[in-house]
Chain A
Amino acid sequence: MFLAAQAFIILWLRFRPHHVEELMHRLDAMGYTPSQFITNMTISLLMIMPMAMLLLPLYSTLVGGDLVAKEAEDGTLRMILSRPVSRIRLLGVKWITGIIFSVVLTFVLGAFGAGFASLFFPSGGLFFFWPPEGLFVIFGPDQAWQRYSASIAMLMVDTISMTGLAWMFSCFNIKPAAATILAISFLFLFRILQELEFFKELQPYLITYHFRIWLDVLREPVPWWKIGESISILLAYNVTFFVIGTAAFQTRDIKS
């Protein structure tokens, strides 16, 4: 699904060039040579944007919600727990699996995005324009790959956190679909709160607010302090998810 969406976006940009032309005009107006910046990196990042907003939360929570709850629903959990394995160890294994999945999923998204874009667009610099975040950046070819890779690496942290949230709900005595829906609902709720002016004071406490690290890493200069703070908060969120999930799972009865 990811790959199909990526291919569609790239082909759309390639064969409906007026979207790209708009970007070129914008660059031209600022005195840059557009051909140097309408590159594989620029197009790939442009393509990743909607996926990071929609598909990534969906896929990560779908898998995270299944990690424990699906085993309980299918009955394999009872088989596993008839062995002398502790519940915490079992959850640890599931948690690590979730992290590996998140890293691989985001890596594939980034790598295939760049790969697809390279088929139709030349390599070179990186141009990224995202008004909601006040982001307008241009990097030369020497920095383009570095920034792109750093952005994907930060996106991995976001994906891990989304999977972790769904994993936590998965540890409760609920259906896997319910765990996924709960996680997505929470993410949407946080996102809505984050956007409302009334809740501005709450922003630093909302997990979705810190998901912007993958965009922050594109800023010039890179706000490392802010990124470090967000990563620490996301880490704290993840630890909280693990503790709550483990506590819920530890106390529940596993029945057929």
Chain B
Amino acid sequence: MIELQQVKKVFAGRLAVDDLNLSIKAGEIFGLLGHNGAGKSTTIGMILGQVWPTSGKITVCGHDAISDRANALRKVGAIFESPVFYDYLSGYRNLEILSHYTASTSPERIRQIIEWVGLTGRENSKVRTYSHGMRARLALAQALLPKPDLLILDEPGDGLDPEGIHEMRQTILRLHREMGLTILLSSHLLTEVEQLCTRIAIMNKGRKVFEGTLADTRETQRWVRLRVGDFARAAKILREAQLIAETRDDKFVQLIGKAENNQLVECLVACGESVYEIANKEQSLEDFYLTLSRNQRSQ
């Protein structure tokens, strides 16, 4: 559905995206993660033909996003963080105007979408009277106007309260389930990504530093909670024995390769260190992301 090949973007001498390769298949909910300024929005801008790549090739729905933008975006809907509309017009009129830029959409279709996103009854009110959640729903409505196959969501949860975030999450799942949409979700809300996405990519300083499934993130690093007499000494012993790579919070150790818990215990006991507790720690996306960020910083 989306293919990025060696995409690079330089803004006035500053490298924003570097040598990015990405492949998003039909039917996926793909998460694009990264801190502010990591290059997520620039990547989405390039996919939508709003930002010109310095080099590389971008294909959306089988069409080149730069030279054949009209066809590439024909079946694409997009929502941006803090969606902006013409505040002095009604929600309905906003949808009409946005649809008229391409091919006009029938009033029935607009009403249908308004009903789907749950804005019926408020469609004729001016957008300036809408709450943040209602604006998010209107943004979703405009994204659904072209009957999309692909939905691109750039920080859709930004500015929403917990209830709004929950609603947005349910809506995304519903869109995926009922309409079979492929979804590209850019976010720094890790729990959202963890609950929604089938595959993710993590960006840092314009480079992709990880791409894989959520299961991959859990398998990539194995953390163990260790309660011993002297944690610092135990960590030193285990590092020397090449059983662990890292420690965290004076209670967690990260196993190297195929090292197992019993090997840790045997090694520590042999060195005279008391072991009170050892347990596997369920690796969350947050753990994975934070470790990855730390590693990137230290490089």
Say whether A and B bind each other: yes
Task: Indicate the size class of the contact surface on chain A.
Answer: 20 to 34
Q: Cβ of A80: which chain B residues have Cβ within 8 Å of it? A: 98, 101
With A and B bound together, what is the CA distance between A76 and B72 in angstroms?
A: 21
Minimal Cβ-Cβ distance residue in A for B85: A76
Segment of B73-81, B118-126, B191-199 engaged in the interface with chain A: B73-81
- Of A82, A90, A93, which is within 8 A of B48 by CB? A82
Q: In the complex, are the beta carbons of A81 and B48 less than 8 A apart?
A: yes
Q: In the complex, are the beta carbons of A86 and B41 less than 8 A apart?
A: no
What is the size, in residues, of chain B's interface with A at 8 Å between Cβ atoms? 33
Minimal Cβ-Cβ distance residue in A for B99: A83
With A and B bound together, what is the CA distance between A82 and B152 in angstroms?
A: 10
Is A142 on the interface with B (CB-CB < 8 A)? no
- Residue of A82, A93, A251 with highest tally of chain B CB at under 10 A: A82
Q: In the complex, are the beta carbons of B85 and A79 less than 8 A apart?
A: yes
With A and B bound together, what is the CA distance between A75 and B41 in angstroms?
A: 14
Q: Cβ of B152: which chain A residues have Cβ within 8 Å of it? A: 82
Q: In the complex, are the beta carbons of B41 and A256 less than 8 A apart?
A: yes
Q: In the complex, are the beta carbons of B50 and A82 less than 8 A apart?
A: yes
B window 75-91: CB within 8 A of A: 76-78, 80-86
With A and B bound together, what is the CA distance between A89 and B101 in angstroms?
A: 9
Is B209 on the interface with A (CB-CB < 8 A)? no
- Of A83, A84, A255, which is within 8 A of B71 by CB? A84
Minimal Cβ-Cβ distance residue in B for A80: B101
With A and B bound together, what is the CA distance between A59 and B42 in angstroms?
A: 36
Q: In the complex, are the beta carbons of A85 and B101 less than 8 A apart?
A: yes
Is B142 on the interface with A (CB-CB < 8 A)? yes
Minimal Cβ-Cβ distance residue in A for B143: A82
Q: In the complex, are the beta carbons of A83 and B11 less than 8 A apart?
A: no
- Of A74, A90, A93, A255, which is within 8 A of B51 by CB? A255
What per-residue 1/0 map shows which CB atoms of A225-256 lie under 8 Å from chain B? 00000000000000000000000000101111
Minimal Cβ-Cβ distance residue in B for A252: B52
B window 211-230: CB within 8 A of A: none
Q: In the complex, are the beta carbons of A253 and B101 less than 8 A apart?
A: no
Q: In the complex, are the beta carbons of B86 and A254 less than 8 A apart?
A: no
Minimal Cβ-Cβ distance residue in B for A84: B73
A-contacting residues of B (Cβ < 8 Å)? 11, 41-42, 45, 48-52, 69-74, 76-78, 80-86, 98, 101-102, 139, 142-143, 146, 152
Sorted nearest first, the 4 A-B pairs with minimum C-beta distance are A75-B84, A82-B78, A84-B73, A254-B50
Name 16 extra pairs, CB < 8 A, besides A83-B101, A85-B101: A78-B84, A79-B80, A79-B83, A79-B142, A80-B101, A81-B48, A82-B50, A83-B98, A84-B73, A84-B74, A251-B52, A253-B11, A253-B50, A253-B52, A254-B45, A254-B50
16 residue pairs from A and B, CB less than 8 Å apart: A75-B82, A75-B84, A78-B50, A79-B84, A79-B139, A79-B142, A82-B50, A82-B73, A83-B73, A83-B102, A84-B69, A86-B70, A90-B101, A253-B45, A253-B50, A256-B41
